[in-house]
Amino acid sequence: MKLHEYQAKEILAQFGVPLPAGRVATSPAQARQIAEELGGKVVVKAQIHAGGRGKGGGVKLASSPAEAEQRAADIIGMQLVTPQTGAQGQKVKSVLIAEQTDIARELYLSLLLDSAAGGLVFIASPAGGMDIEEVAATRPEEIHRVVIDPASGYQAYHGRKLAYALGLSGDQLRQALTVFNGVYRAYTASDASLVEINPLVVTNDGRVLALDAKVTIDDNALYRRPDIAAMRDKDEEDPLEVEAQEMGINNYIKLDGNIGCVVNGAGLAMSTMDVIKLAGGEPANFLDIGTVNDPQRVVSAFKIMTKDKAVKGVLINIFGGMARTDVIATGVVEAKRQLDLPNFPIVVRLAGTNVEEGKRIIAESGLPVITADDLGEAARKAVAAVQGL
Amino acid sequence: MSVLVDENTRLLVQGITGGEGSQHARRSIAYGTNVVAGVTPGRGGQVFDEKVPVFNTVAQAVSETGANVSIIFVPAPGAADAILEAAAAAIPLVVCITEGVPALDMVMVKRTLAGSGTRLIGPNCPGLITPGTHTRVGIMPGDVFTPGSVGVISRSGTLVYEAVAQLTANGVGQSSCVGVGGDPVIGTTQREALEMFNADPDTAAIVLIGEIGGTAEQEAAAYLKAHVKKPVVAFIAGSTAPPGRRMGHAGAIISGNQGTAAAKKAALADAGATVVDSPAEIGVTMKRVLHERGML
């Protein structure tokens, strides 16, 4: 789960990470009041989940409380388009009002899971304030990695190694150790999957501050972090994906094609998308329906999928292991009867548990359902049917 | 003719009285697997389906029945605890089916198991199966498997069934199939599974099924290039997945160039694997490769 910058900073502040003074505002008047408290010279930052906010005009400087109010009025309510939002942009509901800082150096710091090492790894670079993947590709010698042994956790020597790699010494090294320690504790205490500070700045007056912050939480751990789960902002998510979750379909992701997919299992669902593409079509979604023991779930999947008006037909690919193909078949027949789907080809490929019964249910329904025995055939038939409309 | 599980497997089911645990215990028994014990705290003394004794603790189950493999169906909040309980009872092989285990729990578990005598498969995996000895330690539909000499390694569950059904339809049987799991931190990696199949005298060829995210396929490819002479057919799921999105599996999120299907396919092809673009061509390609080498 993604968090807003201000939420990420609230978490980091609890663990002693030094930050520029600031608070979130949801109205221009509130922005003005916070700017007054901060002495007038502030930065106004749009709070959306996507990155690249500055490029889209979502980050503005203000030199007085009145100007902060004006900038906040400009930004709150705008559809902010950044390189990460897509062309339609994302509506801004709040702004972070923070003190301005005089920056001497911009550094990069993140803590994330290193699957290969089976532990957490700090990544630091003196090349802060830019796209870190770009730095890694062009100047790999400027990327420093320190793996933390989960048995002993973060130790000060890890921090010293990072700080020296960043060219910090003396009082700034001491401040940096506070940052590293706080980031590690915030990560583990919130079940994060990423904490990224870009940039981590050294100010002209010698302070080390987390100027920006991004925190992503491990969805699997939200059950034990209710305070963080409450920070979820559904307005930042695709409305169809939110609706799918409310209907019990947790793994729906909308894509840009026109062939809807209903599949069991994440790996098979990705493969079904791949095989549609190879057959010359475009998948409209990723949808892992999971282990289905209720036909109504199939009807729900159809409802979600067909709310995307780009969808012209559907490929259902079920390899029953835990899931029963007869239940799926019943669900397909129900969906076709309940929903008004004229000129909407339905291609069904069933295999595995109770497949004979599943095929019989489809055949006896008398509905115009196109059947296929294997994955390649199913994809070819789905592409041909949709292209033939 | 197998890796990890065979006729000597004495299976313990942790969570045997739960919905999934009971269903799959029954299916494994029906497949011919020697299920010797179950564990559900508080249900010790009961007998599951009038056949399998249930114990309160894994230690009791091991000492009373000699169980040497455990399969875990415990819900996610208790999965790490269940794995560690099995390891503390010195069970050499633990298979965790549970999905949704927090990553930091697995970091702790993996560190604790390092250097111990316990190997973990999973979590978030379909388990493993050796068709030749009727040993099913997982959740797969047993009837799609057929005994033979091709080893199968996969991160995904249903995609294993898909690949195996294609192999079987092409007359190619399997030695063992290992689903390593779809999470970022797993007990046994694709590379380690590849090492086991490479060392298994009864495995003649290997199917490797990876997916987007992480670098596990590149690590398997490095081993493949240096050590494996057996033919390998590989497929990577997720060529069409958009970057930055988690595609069901927590491991399946592209971040950075190494996580892409293209990078993984290139590494495996460079290591000598026959890489298929279409998931519909895994079986027919393995048949062709075996035929070309005079192995079929």
| Confidence (pLDDT) at A183 | 98
| A196 vs B: CB within 8 A | no
- Tell if the CB–CB gap between A270 and B252 is shorter than 8 Å: yes
- The C-alpha atoms of residue B283 and residue B277 are separated, in whole angstroms, by 13
pLDDT band, residue A115 (cuts 50/70/90): confident
Residues of chain B short of pLDDT 70, as ranges, are: 1, 248-256
pLDDT, tens only, B129-168: 999 999 999 999 999 999 999 999 999 888 999 999 999 9
Instruction: Give the one of A116, A270, A320 whose C-beta lies nearest to B241's C-beta.
Output: A270
Contacts of A255 in chain B (CB under 8 A): 240, 242
By C-alpha distance, which of A182, A201, A172, A206 is closest to A122?
A182
Neighbours of B216 (CB within 10 A): 21
Position A362 pLDDT exceeds 70: yes
Segments making up each domain of chain B, as ranges? 11-121, 140-292
Contacts of B279 in chain A (CB under 8 A): 271-272, 274-275, 375
Percent of chain A residues topping a pLDDT of 90: 83
Nearest CA in chain B to A265: B158
Instruction: Give the one of B182, B250, B280 whose C-beta lies nearest to A267's C-beta.
Output: B182
| Confidence (pLDDT) at A321 | 79
Please tell me whether the overall predicted TM-score, pTM, comes out greater than 0.90 for this model.
Answer: yes
Position A210 pLDDT exceeds 90: yes
Whether A134 is catalytic? no
Say yes or no: domain B140-292 is CATH 3.30.470.10: no
Quick one: average pLDDT of A160-180?
Answer: 97
pLDDT band, residue A376 (cuts 50/70/90): very high
Contacts of B216 in chain A (CB under 8 A): 115-116
Instruction: Give the one of B104, B235, B237 whose C-beta lies nearest to A191's C-beta.
Output: B104
By C-alpha distance, which of A151, A114, A115 is closest to B187?
A115
Q: What pairs with residue A355 in β-bridges? A: none
DSSP-derived pairing of the beta strands B93-96 and B119-121: parallel
Instruction: Give the one of A265, A273, A275 whose C-beta lies nearest to B157's C-beta.
Output: A265
| Confidence (pLDDT) at B157 | 87
Q: How many CA within 13 A on the CB side of residue B190?
A: 34
- Tell if the CB–CB gap between A351 and B161 is shorter than 8 Å: yes
By C-alpha distance, which of A271, A110, A54 is closest to B280?
A271
| Confidence (pLDDT) at A163 | 98
Could you tell me which residue, B120 or A129, shows the higher pLDDT?
B120
Nearest CA in chain B to A349: B162
Tokens read off for A39: 């002495």
Measured in angstroms, the CA of B280 and the nearest CA of chain A are apart by 5
- C-alpha to C-alpha distances, B172 to A271, B167, B210, nearest whole angstrom: 21, 5, 20
Whether A108 is catalytic? yes
| Confidence (pLDDT) at B255 | 63
> What is the value of ipTM here, to two decimals?
0.92
Quick one: average pLDDT of A86-107?
Answer: 95
- The C-alpha atoms of residue B206 and residue B286 are separated, in whole angstroms, by 9
pLDDT, tens only, A255-307: 999 999 999 999 999 999 999 999 999 999 999 998 888 899 999 999 999 99
Write down all domains in chain A, each with its CATH number in brackets.
1-19+102-237 (3.30.470.20), 21-100 (3.30.1490.20), 238-387 (3.40.50.261)
CATH number of B11-121: 3.40.50.720
CB pairs under 8 A between A and B: 169
Q: Where are the alpha helices (DSSP H) in chain A?
A: 5-14, 28-37, 65-75, 132-138, 156-165, 170-190, 226-229, 239-246, 266-278, 295-307, 325-338, 355-365, 375-387
3-state secondary structure B128-152: EEEHHHCEEEECCCHHHCCEEEEEE
Q: Do domains B11-121 and B140-292 have the same CATH topology?
A: yes
pLDDT, tens only, A39-72: 999 999 999 999 889 988 999 999 999 999 999 9
- Tell if the CB–CB gap between B157 and A273 is shorter than 8 Å: no
Catalytic residue among A5, A67, A196, A241: A196
